[in-house]
Amino acid sequence: MAGSGKRRPLDCSPPHELTSNTPFSSQTSKKRKMLVNETNSQASSGPSYGVFLSFRGPDTRHGFTDCLYHDLVDAGIHVFRDDESLRVGERISDELLQAIENSKIYIPIFSKNYAASHWCLRELAHMVDCTSKSNENKKILPIFLDVEPDDVKLKTKLYKRALSKHRRKFCIEAVESWKKALIEVDEIKGWNLKKDQG
């Protein structure tokens, strides 16, 4: 199930699967070198990105996501983040989907307006699809930033409203695949964070 209990204060350290056994902890130099070596060997044998960050830009780009991105890069992890990883003139839709396919770990950062973006939902559905076909070689590590797992699970109005609006613009099959992806990802243990704590 998704993370439960108290929310932790905002911390910009990389998720523990990428760094240590303790969530959002500092790294020793030795562990960081081991992580970089492991990530590099995994990347050379397949995916061209260690991590794909999925986020709603206006909610988190210049705060939490930016901090997390730089910490991951500083740890030697090749990270896809849409504003720096695409070259001018490339088709965003194809390039985003290719980056998802070529990534090992997916970190969707669920925020208040994440579900309002059809791009975020499309990315999420593709992440779930790639993970299910990967024979457990890919992972999704969700972060719930100023939202509750119940919002993502569609038990509250927050994400339900966004999906209702999408139903007016997009085909029912697309919206249903986004809904299914939200519910499926919520079943994965993640981190609950609040921007104003700490």
pLDDT of residue 101: 93
Contact criterion met (CB below 8 Å) for 24 and 13: yes
Average pLDDT on 99-115 reads: 94
Lowest-pLDDT choice from 40-54, 63-77, 80-94, 114-128: 80-94
Contact criterion met (CB below 8 Å) for 24 and 197: no
Please tell me the total number of residues recorded for the chain in this structure: 198
Nearest to 15 by CA among 48, 50, 44: 50
- Which residues participate in catalysis according to the annotation? 123
Q: Is residue 23 scored above 80 in pLDDT?
A: no
Helices (H), 45-117: 57-60, 66-74, 82-85, 92-101
Q: Which residue has the higher pLDDT, 147 or 47?
A: 147
At the top level of CATH, which class does the domain 8-194 belong to?
alpha beta
* pLDDT tier for residue 7 given thresholds of 50, 70 and 90: very low
Tens digits of residue pLDDT in 117-175: 998 999 999 999 999 999 989 999 999 999 999 999 999 999 999 999 999 999 999 99
pLDDT of residue 181: 96
Q: Which residue has the higher pLDDT, 92 or 143?
A: 143
- At 124, the amino acid letter reads L
pTM of the full predicted structure? 0.73
Q: Is residue 190 scored above 80 in pLDDT?
A: yes
